[in-house]
Amino acid sequence: MCIRDRLWGAYAQKKKKLMDTDKDVALTAAHPSPLSASKFFGSKPFSAANRALEDMDKEPIDWQIPNL
């Protein structure tokens, strides 16, 4: 099993039915556009991705952007 997609927004989430959810994990969240940013920021999609990876005994991702 692997994380195949992050479905952000209602339009993308409708595509989940096209996926083989026995093989792939699709993480959903609000779209990060200015119109729904408040819902996106509270959804913690990157934390959800790391939890899913840890559930599959895989290394979590360090999502931080290093100082340039």
Which of the two residues, 24 and 62, has the higher pLDDT score?
Answer: 62
**62 pLDDT exceeds 90?**
yes
Terminal CA-CA length for the chain? 35
The answer to whether 27 and 3 are in contact (CB under 8 A) is yes
Q: What is the pLDDT of residue 2?
A: 66
Phi and psi for 14 in degrees, rounded to 5? -65, -20
Which of the two residues, 54 and 68, has the higher pLDDT score?
Answer: 54
**1 pLDDT exceeds 70?**
no
- Condensed to tens digits (0 to 9), the pLDDT of residues 2-59 reads 666 788 888 989 988 888 777 778 888 888 888 877 878 888 888 988 998 999 899 9
